[in-house]
Amino acid sequence: MLAPGARCDGCERDWKEEAPTRRAAKLIFAPPIAILTGGLLFGLLLPVSLGGAIGGAIMCAVACGTAVGAGAGACRVVDRSARAMFLRERAGGLPPARLLPSPRHR
């Protein structure tokens, strides 16, 4: 029996073996999301920028920061959903959960 928070060595080894698949999924989803959010923010805020080269540089920096954050968020979503699906697949051998009656207080 495993301690709370501990994971099976065999399952963790399988999880690490599937890392290239997750990496490929991140490469599919993260760049388009980053480009879309960065470009959208840049396009929306450009008319309100300070003007000149310094204002354009500031707007580019803000848009790039937003794009990096959106890409990192997409990678986190891929990791979380992949982990949930992995654990769901591995839990097939467990018996179904059941509710126990609450103890009666006297």
Residue 37 has pLDDT above 60, yes or no: yes
Q: What is the pTM of this model?
A: 0.68
Residue 20: which pLDDT band, with cuts at 50, 70 and 90? very high
Mean pLDDT score of the chain = 83
Q: What pLDDT score does 76 carry?
A: 93
Tokens of 59: 């707007």
Residue 2: which pLDDT band, with cuts at 50, 70 and 90? low
| DSSP label of 103 | P
Single out the residue of 71, 70, 67, 75 nearest to residue 25, CA to CA: 75
Output the CA torsion 17→23→26→31 (10° steps).
180
Q: What pLDDT score does 45 carry?
A: 80
Residue 50 has pLDDT above 80, yes or no: no
